Chain A
Amino acid sequence: GENVEQHPSTLSVQEGDSAVIKCTYSDSASNYFPWYKQELGKRPQLIIDIRSNVGEKKDQRIAVTLNKTAKHFSLHITETQPEDSAVYFCADGTGYSSASKIIFGSGTRLSIRP
């Protein structure tokens, strides 16, 4: 992908509420949309990903939705817990060539209020 915009840059939610982070991409050839979580002082870790042939994917409290027509995808975290506090990055990728790469958004710092 060529450009990924991520919003909001910071998000604070009450414990138990839901959090939503949104990203838009520009490259029509993008076909892979992962989300990474980076806790303080640690390396980013993949938490969920979705490919362009799927509209939604869930894994327990985490879900990702993709709207290819609008070129945007979102991360949904339900029943938030203190351990969800971290920086979340969306990314997009275009596969199958030597020039294929993964580009990241600018990140969202999520804080969970007790």
Chain B
Amino acid sequence: DGGITQSPKYLFRKEGQNVTLSCEQNLNHDAMYWYRQDPGQGLRLIYYSQIVNDFQKGDIAEGYSVSREKKESFPLTVTSAQKNPTAFYLCASSLGRGGNEKLFFGSGTQLSVL
């Protein structure tokens, strides 16, 4: 699914630092999602957006922030308030608005704490 790109592939965060994960799609998809994946666990929803300039909190939004200023971009900021940020982060998009369509995933960003 080359139409959705995450960068960087690996990211290191220092204590007290905010870091931003990039997610870009050229599929003209309306909806975009951020999930967190911990070893041996499922995909937990952080934030999602069904339309530009609107987004909703998922199940584990605390310590994270997002923006959706452009249809093709949905960056995720991991703030210093997130005390356990080490995880694999997956961005996804779907064509239509609403949680009932196929998700296309990016290749993920592995975030680690120094």
Query: Quick one: given A43-B108, A98-B56, are A104 and B99 in contact (CB under 8 Å)?
Result: no
A107:B1 contact, CB within 8 angstroms: no
Q: DSSP majority for the A interface? A: loop
Q: A100 contacts B45, CB within 8 Å? A: no
Q: Is the CB of A101 within 8 A of B45?
A: yes
Taken together as a complex, chains A and B put the C-alpha atoms of A73 and B45 apart, in Å, by: 21
Give Cα distance in the complex from A93 to B94, angstroms.
12
Given A43-B108, A44-B90, A101-B48; A107-B42 close (CB under 8 Å): yes
Inter-chain contact B99/A32, CB cutoff 8 Å: yes
Q: How many residues of B contact A (CB 8 A)?
A: 29
Q: Contact: B99 with A106, CB < 8 Å?
A: no
Q: How far is the CA of A31 from the CA of B101 in the complex (A)?
A: 11
Least CB distance, A41 to chain B, in whole angstroms: 9
B107 interfacial by beta-carbon distance below 8 Å: yes
Contact A103 B45, beta carbon cutoff 8 Å: yes
B106 contacts partner chain A, Cβ-Cβ < 8 Å? yes
**Is residue B98 within 8 Å, beta carbon to beta carbon, of the partner chain?**
yes
- Contact B56–A32 (Cβ < 8 Å): no
Q: Is the CB of B42 within 8 A of A95?
A: no
Residues of A within 8 A of B50 (CB): 97-100
Q: Please tell me which one of the listed residues A31, A98, A105 contacts residue B100 in the complex, with CB atoms under 8 A apart.
A: A31
A111 to nearest B CB, angstroms? 14
Question: Which of B41, B59, B100 is within 8 Å of A107, CB to CB?
Answer: B41
The residue in chain B whose Cβ has the minimal distance to the Cβ of A34 is B102
A9 to B107, CA, bound (A): 24
Chain A residues with Cβ under 8 A from B1's Cβ?
43
Within the complex, the shortest CB–CB distance from A28 to chain B, in Å, comes to: 15
Q: Which residues of B contact A89 (CB under 8 A)?
A: 42-43
Within 1-59 of A, Cβ neighbours of B (below 8 Å) are at 1, 6, 9, 31-32, 34, 36, 43-46, 49, 51
Q: Which of A44, A49, A99, A105 contacts B56 (CB 8 A)?
A: A99
Instruction: Given A43-B107, A44-B90, A44-B105, answer yes or no on A98-B99 (Cβ-Cβ < 8 Å).
Output: no
B residues at A contact (CB < 8 Å): 1, 33, 35, 40-45, 48, 50-51, 54, 56, 58-59, 90, 94, 97-103, 105-108
